Amino acid sequence: MTEIFDAIKRSAVRIREAIETDDTGYSQNKNKTGDIQLKLDIKSDLIIEEELSKVPSVKEIASEEREHSEVLNENGIYSIGYDPLDGSSLVDVDLSVGSIFGIYKGGYAGENLIAAAYVVYGPRVELVIATDIVELYRMDPEHNFHFIQPVSLNEKGNIKSPGATQKYWPEFHKKMVDEIFQEGYRLRYSGGMVPDLHQILLKGGGVFSYPGTTDKPKGKLRMVFEVFPFAYIFEKAGGLAMDPIKRLLDLKPSHLHDTTPCFFGSKYEVLKAKEVYGKYQCDID
Ligand code: AHM
Ligand code: MG
């Protein structure tokens, strides 16, 4: 799999350069979810396709920016699901963004993930790779990536990243978020899941939530490109990733672009969410 991680590193160098120099405007195209694509979304997607097509073990790719998966090498064994530039609308306000990768052996289901990675384009470029362990790398000015440290979560943190439009949160979700803040948690939400989750991972814990809402009952974040890769990373780092009743990696999408409510974090906070949601479901049964 080293050659896949090398392709991800080469993509990261090229995407970083595009972020720094290219036009941040919109294209004329919409992706499968109906978002108007930025020129940077399209360019990042093409960069990743080009780099992964040089890797013989990559059989096919599926991208948040494409309706269908595409075969790259008939004899390959891995399928890569990726979000080429997550949070891309934050580039023009100079906030951090990222690329997310899931490496699947078999179909695009959580149980078939065998590794995951993400790149954060922030003040520095950092790469986190999860196989059986989770490791942080940082890019130097010569574009080489250096190992920095292993990544692991504590049982409990002190950061809360509550996603989605509050007006549409279920009442019990709002109550749960309020209770977490009453426990002394601090708000950390940039609108980019990569830097928000990176912060939780590197500060040792906390919880990120993107719930089902009255306007989007199945949430916003896509299983194959965003949710499964981060679920894999959080579990391997010693945390939990749930919907929050079921384990996210046990979910099987019916379609490539399916979304799901998701909670990623250290154990204490995610289990607390599970308890609240479990009780709510009992109340309405
Ligand atoms: P994108 O893939 O279109 O960039 O959307 C995903 C982003 C995530 O990075 C972030 O957590 C979420 O959308 C923010 O959504 P909201 O503003 O509804 O909280
Ligand atoms: Mg995205």
pLDDT tens for each residue of the chain, 285 residues long: 899 999 999 999 999 999 999 777 777 788 777 777 888 999 999 999 999 999 999 999 999 999 999 999 999 999 999 999 999 999 999 999 999 999 999 999 999 999 999 999 999 999 999 999 999 999 999 999 999 999 999 999 999 999 999 999 999 999 999 999 999 999 999 999 999 999 999 998 999 999 999 999 999 999 999 999 999 999 999 999 999 999 999 999 999 999 999 999 999 999 999 999 998 876 554
Ligand number nearest CA of 211 is 1
**What is residue 94's DSSP assignment?**
T
Neighbours of 248 (CB within 10 A): 24
In this structure, the residue with its CA closest to atom 2 of ligand 1 is 86
Predicted pLDDT at 282: 60
Burial label for 279, CB within 10 Å (0-12, 13-18, 19+), is exposed
Phi–psi pair at 67, nearest 5 degrees: -70, -40
Q: How far apart are CA 131 and CA 134, in angstroms?
A: 6
Inter-residue contact 168 to 154 (CB < 8 Å):
no
Question: Given ligand 1 and candidates 120, 160, 210, which is best to mutate, with the most ligand atoms within 8 Å of its CB?
Answer: 210
Classify the C-alpha dihedral 249-250-255-259 as positive or negative: negative
Q: How far is the CA of 182 from the centre of ligand 2 (A)?
A: 30
233, 237, 240, 246: CA torsion to nearest 10: 40
Cis (ω within 30 of 0) for the bond into 211?
Answer: no
Whether residue 82 contacts residue 99, with contact meaning beta carbons closer than 8 Å, is answered with: yes
What spacing in Å lies between the alpha carbon of 282 and ligand 2's midpoint?
33
**Residue for token digits 């965003």?**
226
Q: Which phi and psi angles does 76 have, rounded to 5°?
A: -70, 170
Backbone angles phi, psi at 174, to 5 degrees: -60, -45
CA of 240 to the centre of ligand 1 (A): 20
- Which of 38, 63, 86, 168 for a ligand 1 pocket mutation test, highest count of atoms within 8 Å of Cβ? 86
- Phi and psi at 90, nearest 5°, equal -90, -10
Domains and CATH numbers, the chain: 2-150 (3.30.540.10), 159-284 (3.40.190.80)
Whole-angstrom distance, CA of residue 228 vs CA of residue 241: 9
Class of residue 142 by CB neighbours under 10 A (exposed 0-12, middle 13-18, buried 19+): exposed
Distance CA 125, CA 140 (A): 8
DSSP-based three-state secondary structure for 31: coil
Query: Residues with Cβ < 8 Å from 273, sequence gap 6 or more?
Result: 176, 207, 209, 242, 244, 263
CA-to-CA separations, 23 to 121, 190, 258, in angstroms, rounded? 16, 22, 30
Which residues on neighbouring strands pair with residue 118, listed in sequence order?
Answer: 100, 128
Question: Could you tell me the distance, in angstroms and rounded to a whole number, from the CA of residue 119 to the centre of ligand 2?
Answer: 13
Which residue is closest in CA terms to ligand 1's atom 16? 164
- Provide the residues around ligand 2 (an ion) whose CB is within 5 A: 83, 86
Nearest alpha carbon to residue 229 among 82, 93, 121 = 82
- Return the ligand number nearest the Cα of 165: 1
For atom 11 of ligand 1, the residue with the nearest CA is 193
Number of H helices, E strands in the chain: 6, 15
What is the rounded distance in angstroms from the CA atom of residue 135 to the CA atom of residue 149? Answer: 6
- DSSP H helical ranges for the chain: 2-21, 39-52, 171-182, 193-202, 228-236, 267-284
* Side-chain-side CA neighbours of residue 145 (13 Å): 21
Give pLDDT, residue 283.
Answer: 59
